[in-house]
Amino acid sequence: MAVERQSISPVGALLLLALGNPCLAMTLDEQFANLATCGIENVYLDPNDHQPQGEYFVERQLQPCELDEAARYCIDDTYQGLAVRAVLIPYSGPFSVHALYLKDSVASVRRRLGRTFFGDGRQRPLLSVDRQHPGGSVLYCDPQSQ
């Protein structure tokens, strides 16, 4: 018995693709829109169910690649045109460090974001060398830092 092949129109293929893998609406740039002023709100790990809060994380159903005092999510994305290797978000509570682990060097990040973007880690993010990934950097906010 011969199997009859059915073809699908390009519009039908797009519809199936859209239904099978819905578009992700929240970008990393949007989720961390207030990073320049360390005004990151509602992005944390719930201490009760260990689920992330923050639309970017929820939409993608991300699971942490490391979990300790905070959750580190290994991703392959961009922030302000910079390649992001991982994102660190805190549990809801007093520990409130948010960090982006970038593939770009400190010098490249400074050139891309401009000097006014950086500060003390409380009101403007700190930028440091990523010691675990040579050539990379870490951009982070820690409102509780002294």
102 vs 125: CA distance, rounded Å: 13
pTM to 2 decimal places: 0.80
Any idea where the domains of the chain sit in the sequence?
63-146
The closest of 38, 96, 94 to 71, measured between CA atoms, is 96
Question: Of the ranges 7-11, 96-100, 139-143, which one carries the lowest mean pLDDT score?
Answer: 7-11
1 vs 35: CA distance, rounded Å: 63
Q: Which amino acid is at 11?
A: V
Average pLDDT over residues 132-136: 95
pLDDT score of 21: 47
- What is the tens place of the pLDDT at every residue in 102-114? 999 999 999 999 8
Is the predicted pLDDT of residue 15 greater than 50, yes or no?
A: no
Spacing of C-alpha 19 from chain mean position: 25
